[in-house]
A and B are shown apart, each in its own frame.
Chain A
Amino acid sequence: MADDVFKALADPTRRKILDELAERGGQTLFELCARLTNRHGLGSSRQAISQHLAVLEEAGLVRTRREGRYKFHDLETEPLERIADRWLKPNGRQS
């Protein structure tokens, strides 16, 4: 599980996605792509961003929810807390 989180965080585009979701939750794929293009000059295709989102979701860092016909993405910070606890609260050390 922790390996997935480190792998997900290793990519700069995925970190930007998390930055944008931290600023505003509940974003559609379209809004995320527009933000990444216009604010960060990232010209990735929607398909590429979709794949990045799948990696983040797999690592538990992004949660998707369907609301009627729409799909929204939210940041999930719990895996980050577990990572930080490894060094901040060394009793619960993981591999």
Chain B
Amino acid sequence: MRIHITSVFVDDQAKAERFYTDVLGFVKKHDIDMGEARWLTVVSPEQPEGTELLLEPDGHPAVKPYKDALVADGIPATAFSVDDVRAESERLRGLGVRFTQEPVDMGPVTTAVFEDTCGNLLQIEQMNQ
């Protein structure tokens, strides 16, 4: 068994497509018209055959309270790995991204948490050593 797709609930797929590609630097993998919404996935350019991230519409009534409660406590919807959390944070901040947690050395990892503009928090992390 392998992890093929994971997802985040986004409030607007067009906005999410822009943020996850233009700002985060992922590339679009699948974009299939499903009527009301799109089957929209992105991958890392470093791993084009790797796990896909599905940008899933958040219209279900259970989703908004779930997202709001996570965001209020600063809990990220998912996490991405980077080589240098501090450098990546600087880059993202330069693009106007808002952080709820500055880069912090947590022992085995250094992490930071920021807003995806689509109603979620995302964590970036770097393994130390």
The CA-CA distance from A10 to B126 in the complex, in Å, is: 35
By a CB distance below 8 angstroms, the chain B residues around A46 are: 73
Any A CB within 8 A of the CB of B65 = no
The CA-CA distance from A72 to B113 in the complex, in Å, is: 13
User: Which residue numbers of A lie inside 8 Å of B, CB to CB?
Assistant: 24, 27-31, 34-35, 38-39, 46, 69-72
By a CB distance below 8 angstroms, the chain B residues around A72 are: 100
User: Which residue numbers of B lie inside 8 Å of A, CB to CB?
Assistant: 68, 71-76, 100-102, 104, 106-109, 111, 113
Q: Chain A nearest CB: distance from B128 CB in Å? A: 11
Q: Is the CB of B74 within 8 A of A30?
A: yes
Q: Chain A nearest CB: distance from B97 CB in Å? A: 14
Across the A-B interface, how many residue pairs have beta carbons closer than 8 Å? Answer: 47
Q: Is the CB of B101 within 8 A of A27?
A: yes
Q: Is the CB of A24 within 8 A of B107?
A: no
Q: Chain B nearest CB: distance from A64 CB in Å? A: 10
The CA-CA distance from A34 to B104 in the complex, in Å, is: 10
Q: Is the CB of A30 within 8 A of B106?
A: no
Q: Is the CB of B73 within 8 A of A38?
A: no
Nearest A residue to B72 by beta-carbon distance? Answer: A71
By a CB distance below 8 angstroms, the chain B residues around A29 are: 73-75
Q: Chain B nearest CB: distance from A22 CB in Å? A: 14
> Given A38-B109, A70-B74, are A31 and B104 neighbors across the interface (CB < 8 Å)?
yes
A-B contact pairs, 11 of them (CB 8 A): A31-B74, A34-B104, A34-B111, A35-B104, A35-B106, A69-B68, A69-B72, A71-B72, A71-B73, A71-B74, A72-B100
The CA-CA distance from A39 to B105 in the complex, in Å, is: 9
